[in-house]
């Protein structure tokens, strides 16, 4: 009875703190960073002191997941609170895709806007821009982040290995020159720009598979592009540019409540670290850009400290999916791993239904609310960020919005280690994790992506793994536990056919 009373008192205190403070929020979202890529998650071949410091000052989650093993769908789910596999057109988006997030639906940006926050998105976007038919790179580029609720955006439209290799600031191409119009095509060559396939001698980084179309900054990309010479980015400078934009936004809004969604381009290919980091790791370019990512986190923390904003700012750090080593360029990334395992003890990686595809680093710091140095093994999904942000800012979501997203703020602040009832992972096939069991539905796709040397987790037979005894998913025990298999198959089918998971599960039922 006494313990229960104390728990209720602590929960009431926490609610009071949320209501009184409504902190600034900085969400740093890495790209293709693996569960085993950070020293605070056990890596020994590389050290990430800034991210480690963030973890030591807050909460480190060991069982947090992106919703998908690739970037566009995981970002869509995080932004909308709805699983991407429920909506067509949410696969890996080309660089000229139209906006895939419905403007009429609530999303993370609109939640903060409704709470009176000033918000910005800086860095990788990869959720499409413009109306049907794609963006007009030579005019006003909308709808986009501003139409979703952000007050400022400075974005990489897709990925650094895809054209167009430009930044878009709000509704316009950054450094646009009307005398040099931009054309982008993913089917046919445009203009006279050389390609990597026809002109390998012009390349400073050569492709290993694909990535052999238009050359920009000595690197051939996916897709064709012409024009926009003044607007082209220099890969080695991207991290610094994003930090500068983040610094300016935070400084300009130091007297406002703000939300910054900082999407780094590291550790995605092509890996082109600034000279400050080139050759500084023992793992080649992939290791160097992990150091660069760590420095980005350190720079953001320094900005907050210098403006005396750290005490009332929730800083979140995570990744959009699991790791991939060789993803299309000859960087000697595989040869220079030196014993490092980007997925840690997990099997698979980016693109994979196995755990390394979606189990990602996840760290939260909020001084005075989150006790320093906490580690939690609570089961958590990034699809819950939207509902959790709504709770953080004192809002209640309409029943028909963000229907896969549950309030998990108590988990994010270290007030609870209770699990979600289940999470769904997506990598072509769907998987469900409940308790310590994981079920992967049968799939007819290839067992392995030979280009990237990653096991995809596809099999014609059902797969069932006991994650508490077999975190590496080596022993399929579907035949030994038919009752568990049947239960999880039924649960996955129910979720697949559901139109409103938050309505189906009351708050008490969400907890184990």
Q: What is the 3-state secondary structure (H, E, C) of 453-484?
A: CEECCCCCCCEEEECCCCCCCCCCCCCCCHHH
pLDDT mean over 399-428: 95
Cis amide linkage into residue 164, ω under 30° from 0: yes
3-state secondary structure of 232: strand
> 83 and 204 share a domain?
no
310-363 pLDDT tens trace: 999 999 999 999 999 999 999 999 999 999 999 999 999 999 999 999 999 999
> 309 and 434 share a domain?
no
Tell me the two tokens of residue 133. Answer: 């038919």
Beta bridge partners of 439: 432, 464
Q: Is residue 15 part of a domain?
A: no
- Among candidate residues 353, 381, 412, the one where a domain is terminated: 412
pLDDT mean over 388-398: 97
pLDDT computed for residue 504 by the predictor = 84
Q: Is residue 13 part of a domain?
A: no
Name residue, tokens 């699991």: 322
Residue 476 belongs to domain with CATH number: 3.30.1120.10
> 199 and 340 share a domain?
no
> 304 and 428 share a domain?
no
pLDDT mean over 370-375: 98
Q: Which domain holds residue 459?
A: 423-510
Q: Is residue 16 part of a domain?
A: no
Residue 176 and residue 261: Cα distance in Å, rounded?
A: 24
Task: Please return the burial class of 293, using the count of CB atoms within 10 Å of its CB with bins 0-12, 13-18 and 19+.
Answer: buried
- Among candidate residues 352, 385, 412, the one where a domain is terminated: 412
At residue 17, does pLDDT exceed 70?
A: no
Residue 250 belongs to domain with CATH number: 3.40.720.10
Cis amide linkage into residue 136, ω under 30° from 0: no
Q: Is residue 306 part of a domain?
A: yes
> 148 and 217 share a domain?
no
Q: Is residue 7 part of a domain?
A: no
pLDDT mean over 413-440: 96
E strand or H helix that includes residue 413: none
- Among candidate residues 412, 436, 463, the one where a domain is terminated: 412
Cα–Cα distances (Å) from 434 to 264, 345, 431, 476, in that order, read 31, 20, 10, 16
> 175 and 268 share a domain?
yes
Q: Is the overall model pTM greater than 0.75, yes or no?
A: yes
Closest among 433, 424, 419 to 403, alpha carbons compared: 424
pLDDT computed for residue 506 by the predictor = 54
Instruction: Please say whether the dihedral angle defined by the alpha carbons of residues 301, 306, 307 and 309, taken in this order, is positive or negative.
Output: positive
> 371 and 337 share a domain?
yes
Q: Is residue 110 part of a domain?
A: yes
At residue 299, does pLDDT exceed 80?
A: yes
The answer to whether the beta carbons of residues 490 and 498 sit under 8 Å apart is: no
Q: What is the DSSP string of 1-16?
A: -HHHHHHHHHHHHHHH
Neighbours of 1 (CB within 10 A): 5
206-250 pLDDT tens trace: 999 999 999 999 999 999 999 999 999 999 999 999 999 999 999
Q: Is residue 158 part of a domain?
A: yes
Instruction: Please say whether the dihedral angle defined by the alpha carbons of residues 304, 307, 308 and 309, taken in this order, is positive or negative.
Output: negative
Residue 32 and residue 127: Cα distance in Å, rounded?
A: 16
Max CA distance (Å), the chain? 77
pLDDT computed for residue 451 by the predictor = 96
Q: What is the DSSP string of 281-334?
A: SSSHHHHHHHHHHHHHHHHHHHHHHHTT-GGGEEEEEEESS---S-SSB---TT
Average pLDDT, the chain: 94
> 123 and 241 share a domain?
yes
At residue 508, does pLDDT exceed 90?
A: no
Residue 46 and residue 294: Cα distance in Å, rounded?
A: 11
Can you count the helices (H) and strands (E) in the chain?
12, 22
pLDDT computed for residue 18 by the predictor = 52
Split into its structural domains, the chain has a count of 3
> 430 and 476 share a domain?
yes
> 210 and 84 share a domain?
no
> 116 and 206 share a domain?
no
> 331 and 198 share a domain?
no
Residue 326 and residue 435: Cα distance in Å, rounded?
A: 33
89-106 pLDDT tens trace: 999 999 999 999 999 999
Q: Is residue 282 part of a domain?
A: yes
The answer to whether the beta carbons of residues 471 and 348 sit under 8 Å apart is: no
């Amino acid at each position: 009875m006494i313990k229960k009373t104390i728990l209720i008192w602590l929960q009431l205190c926490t609610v009071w703190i949320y209501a009184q403070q409504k902190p600034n929020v900085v969400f740093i979202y890495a790209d293709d960073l693996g569960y085993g890529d950070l020293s605070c998650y056990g890596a020994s071949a590389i050290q990430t002191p800034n991210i480690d410091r963030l973890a030591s000052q807050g909460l480190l989650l060991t069982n947090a997941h992106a919703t998908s093993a690739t970037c566009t769908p995981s970002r869509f789910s995080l932004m909308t609170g709805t699983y991407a596999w429920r909506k067509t057109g949410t696969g890996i988006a080309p660089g000229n895709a139209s906006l895939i997030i419905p403007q009429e639906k609530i999303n993370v940006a609109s939640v903060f806007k409704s709470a009176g926050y000033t918000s910005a998105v800086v860095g990788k976007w990869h959720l499409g821009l413009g109306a049907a038919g794609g963006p007009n790179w030579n005019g006003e580029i909308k709808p986009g982040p501003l139409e979703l609720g952000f007050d400022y955006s400075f974005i990489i439209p897709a990925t650094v290995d895809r054209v167009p290799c430009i930044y878009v600031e709000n509704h316009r191409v950054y450094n646009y020159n009307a005398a040099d119009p931009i054309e982008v095509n993913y089917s046919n060559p445009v203009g006279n720009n050389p390609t990597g396939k026809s002109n390998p001698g012009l390349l400073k980084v050569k492709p290993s598979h694909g990535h052999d179309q238009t050359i920009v900054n000595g690197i051939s990309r996916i897709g064709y592009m012409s024009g926009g010479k003044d607007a082209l980015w220099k890969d080695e400078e991207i991290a610094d540019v994003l930090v500068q934009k983040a610094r300016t936004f935070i400084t300009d809004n130091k007297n406002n409540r703000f939300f910054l969604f900082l999407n780094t381009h590291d550790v995605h290919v092509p890996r082109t670290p600034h000279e400050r980091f080139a050759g500084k790791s023992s793992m080649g370019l992939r290791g160097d850009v992990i150091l660069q990512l760590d420095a980005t986190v350190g720079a953001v923390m320094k900005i907050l400290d210098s403006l005396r904003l750290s005490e009332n700012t929730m800083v979140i750090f995570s990744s959009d999916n699991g790791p991939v080593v060789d993803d299309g360029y000859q960087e000697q990334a595989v040869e220079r791993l030196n014993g490092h395992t980007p997925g840690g003890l997990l099997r698979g990686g980016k693109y994979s239904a196995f755990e390394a595809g979606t189990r990602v680093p996840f760290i939260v710091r909020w001084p005075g609310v989150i006790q320093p140095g906490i580690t939690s093994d609570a089961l958590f999904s990034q699809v819950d960020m939207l509902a959790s942000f709504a709770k953080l800012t004192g809002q209640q979501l309409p029943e028909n919005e963000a229907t896969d997203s549950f309030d998990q703020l108590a988990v994010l602040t270290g007030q609870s280690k209770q699990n979600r009832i289940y999470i769904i992972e997506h990598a072509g096939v769907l998987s469900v994790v409940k308790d310590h069991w994981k079920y992967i539905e049968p799939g007819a796709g290839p067992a392995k992506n030979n280009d990237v040397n990653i096991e995809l987790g596809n099999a014609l037979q059902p797969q069932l793994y006991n994650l508490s005894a077999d975190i590496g998913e080596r022993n399929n025990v579907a035949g030994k536990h038919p009752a568990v298999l049947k239960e999880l198959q039924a649960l996955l089918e129910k979720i697949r056919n559901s139109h409103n998971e938050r309505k189906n599960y009351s708050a008490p039922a969400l907890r184990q």
